[in-house]
């Protein structure tokens, strides 16, 4: 009955991990926003797209110029800035309300770095200055750069009630809405670049090319804390209560508390330049992160465990969590929407691992909103087989010689539960390289030096390559019946005698060792010690007494 139910689930239920996919004509890295119930984002093809949140169907698209670098909602409209120095306000249906071209003699800007808004105005950072733009499109110059340096780089701005904060070279600057400088602070050994300032309460967070995430007090500009990563920080942070989450070019996602203490790190394969997004996956609070390794990750906010990863064909941009879906653009020009109701992750083996003949322990984590979840594993799009599940993790064992082809092989996992299941074409996956001609490894068997009849003893089985304990092996005692074991063998033998034990394990040479069980009345160590004491006593008697007397008799 269970097998029939499982078969029914695998065939008939249409719930999917990949909800929809939309193709544009250019790379998509900008964080999507929600406008009038639709998903709005921009592509490097110069268009702003509005997509149905449920189906991914295009509602409208509007050309705004090359290359859009910002999309946000302001004054019941969508505002977009481009690197070609245009700022556009779009209304319902994608209709252009107004457009300001900063690449004119009035402003002399060739590039806009970014824009943001408070309740009243839009603020723009460009290579010629910092500007305020009203709801009607009227421009006011707040800061003018009379001598524009070729290497001068500003960050996108952050705006709040009565202020704007932006990075310029190695300085972080806060100005008023009228352009008055309120404070400046600087860093050494690096510059601000693509990471934009993020304001949460009285703290502003910004990453830099000194490989640090910096936190300053918004009111004073005084340093609150700084955290060192292992490479540049080009992405922006997202803040949950007092915890900041951000990625680094070192491929890690960091969670840092309000005192600057790193709570956890999660490792991906390549650099992370996107801004994380807070959300939920399978009922668990997570942070979604787009990575350069072409995956979107869902990471537990509690402990940093990777709960799921979804693939794309390009570097993943900043994601959006909306209506039980995570939506993001990719360097492959597509916009993806993945369901967040259930998911699994593959933590072992890792992408690109070289697999020989040893048994492969495939494992990961899983989540489900509905409960009664099962995890399924498929090799190279073959039959789905159920894995063993714990409270939040799963495990599956593979014999490479039976399950893998020579060369590249792909392992997939998916989750089914009381409400449905994931379905293709995309599942969490990892690709490994199998070498069927790899040499068998050796086992190391350690037997206690003293074994007494009727007393329990343990034989330890380890991997000869790295010394790690070996699990799931079989053993045979004195050519008897083989038995399954965990990480070791615990026995009690009631007859003194010589014995041999043979251990067998996938990917290893068979190993046989011999040992002796001694009679319970005689401890071989005590016996050996007693003999040694007798020898020492006899030697002392000989050297001190008998040897001297023998020498005297010889002289006579």
Per residue in 220-251, pLDDT (tens digit) is 999 999 999 999 999 999 999 889 999 999 99
Q: How confident is the model at residue 2 (pLDDT cuts 50, 70, 90)?
A: very low
Q: Dihedral sign, CA of 533, 537, 538, 543?
A: positive
Q: How confident is the model at residue 150 (pLDDT cuts 50, 70, 90)?
A: low
In angstroms, rounded to a whole number, what is the distance separating the alpha carbons of residues 513 and 517?
Answer: 13
- Tell me the two tokens of residue 454: 């009727």
Per-residue pLDDT at 544: 64
Q: Read off the pLDDT of each residue in 176-200 and give the average, rounded to a whole number.
A: 96
Average pLDDT over residues 431-448: 96
pLDDT digits (tens, 9 = 90+) for 109-121: 999 999 999 999 9
Nearest to 291 by CA among 274, 310, 305: 274
pLDDT 10s digits, 374-384: 999 999 999 99
In three-state secondary structure terms, 450 is: coil
Contact 192, 167 (CB under 8 A): yes
SS3 at position 536: helix
Q: How far is CA 146 from CA 105, 131, 167, 373, 520, in A?
A: 13, 14, 18, 63, 96
Residue 3 has pLDDT above 50, yes or no: no
For the segment 23-37, the average pLDDT, to the nearest whole number, is 96
> What value does the mean pLDDT take over residues 319-340?
96
The pLDDT, as a whole number, for residue 551 is: 55
Q: Rounded to an integer, what distance in angstroms lies between the CA atom of residue 472 and that of residue 487?
A: 7
- Look at the chain and count its residues: 556
Extended beta strands in 38-85, E state: 38-42, 47-52, 58-63, 68-74, 77-82
The arithmetic mean of pLDDT across residues 181-203, rounded, is 95
442-448: average pLDDT: 95
pLDDT at 303 over 90: yes
pLDDT band at residue 27 using 50, 70 and 90 as cut-offs: very high
CA 350 vs CA 26, 135, 347: distances in Å: 30, 51, 6
* pLDDT category of residue 11 using cuts at 50, 70 and 90: very low
The separation between CA 248 and the C-alpha centre of its own chain, rounded to angstroms, equals 12
In the chain the first and final C-alpha atoms are separated, in Å, by 104
What CA–CA distances, in Å, run from 96 to 64, 152, 252? 9, 31, 40
Q: What is the pLDDT averaged over residues 78-87?
A: 97
Return the structure tokens found at 351.
């992408």
């Amino acid at each position: 009955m269970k097998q029939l139910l499982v078969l029914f689930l695998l065939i008939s239920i249409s719930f999917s991990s990949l909800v929809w996919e939309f193709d544009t004509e250019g790379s998509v890295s900008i964080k999507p926003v929600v406008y009038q119930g639709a998903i709005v984002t921009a592509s490097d093809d110069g268009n702003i797209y509005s997509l149905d949140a449920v189906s991914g169907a295009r509602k409208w698209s509007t050309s705004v110029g090359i290359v859009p670098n910002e999309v946000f909602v302001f004054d019941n409209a969508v505002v977009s800035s481009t690197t070609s120095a245009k700022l556009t306000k779009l209304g319902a249906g994608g209709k252009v309300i107004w457009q300001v071209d900063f690449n004119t003699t009035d402003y002399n800007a060739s590039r806009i770095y970014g824009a943001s808004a408070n309740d009243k105005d839009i603020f723009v950072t460009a290579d010629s200055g910092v500007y305020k733009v009203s709801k009607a499109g009227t421009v006011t110059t707040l800061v003018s750069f009379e001598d524009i340096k070729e290497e001068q780089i500003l960050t996108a701005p952050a705006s709040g009630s009565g202020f704007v904060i932006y990075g310029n070279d190695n300085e972080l600057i806060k100005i008023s809405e009228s352009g008055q400088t309120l404070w400046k602070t600087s860093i050494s050994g690096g510059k601000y670049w693509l990471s934009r300032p993020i304001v949460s309460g009285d703290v502003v967070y910004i990453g830099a090319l000194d490989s640090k995430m910096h936190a300053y007090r918004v009111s004073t500009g005084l340093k609150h804390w700084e955290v060192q990563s292992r490479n540049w920080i080009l992405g922006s942070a997202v803040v949950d209560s007092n915890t900041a989450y951000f990625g680094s070019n070192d491929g890690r996602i960091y969670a840092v508390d309000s005192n600057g203490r790193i709570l956890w790190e999660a490792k991906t394969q390549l650099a992370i330049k996107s801004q994380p997004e807070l959300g939920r996956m399978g009922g668990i609070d997570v942070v979604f992160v787009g990575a350069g390794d072409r995956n979107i990750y869902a990471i537990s906010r509690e402990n940093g465990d990777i709960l799921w990863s979804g693939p794309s064909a390009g570097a993943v941009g900043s994601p959006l969590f909306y209506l039980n879906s995570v939506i993001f653009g990719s360097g492959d020009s597509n916009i993806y929407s993945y369901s967040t109701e259930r998911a699994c992750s593959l933590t072992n083996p890792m992408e690109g691992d070289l697999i020989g003949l040893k048994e492969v322990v495939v494992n990961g984590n899983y989540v489900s909103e509905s409960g009664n979840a099962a995890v399924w594993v498929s090799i190279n799009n073959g039959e789905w087989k159920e894995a063993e599940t714990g409270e939040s993790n799963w495990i599956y064992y593979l014999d490479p010689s039976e399950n893998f082809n020579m060369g590249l092989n792909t392992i997939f996992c998916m989750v089914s539960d009381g409400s449905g299941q994931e379905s293709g074409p995309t599942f969490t996956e990892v690709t490994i390289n199998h070498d069927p001609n790899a040499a068998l490894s050796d086992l190391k068997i350690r037997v206690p030096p003293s074994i007494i009849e009727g007393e329990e003893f343990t034989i330890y089985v380890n991997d000869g390559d790295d010394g790690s304990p070996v699990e799931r092996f079989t053993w045979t005692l004195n050519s008897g019946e083989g038995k399954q074991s965990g990480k070791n063998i615990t026995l009690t033998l009631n007859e003194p005698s010589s014995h041999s034990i043979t251990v067998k394990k996938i990917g290893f040479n068979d190993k046989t060792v011999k040992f002796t069980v001694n009679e319970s009345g005689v401890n071989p160590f005590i016996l050996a010690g007693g003999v040694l004491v007798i020898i020492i006593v006899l030697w002392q008697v000989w050297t001190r007494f008998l040897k001297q007397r023998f020498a005297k008799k010889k002289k006579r």
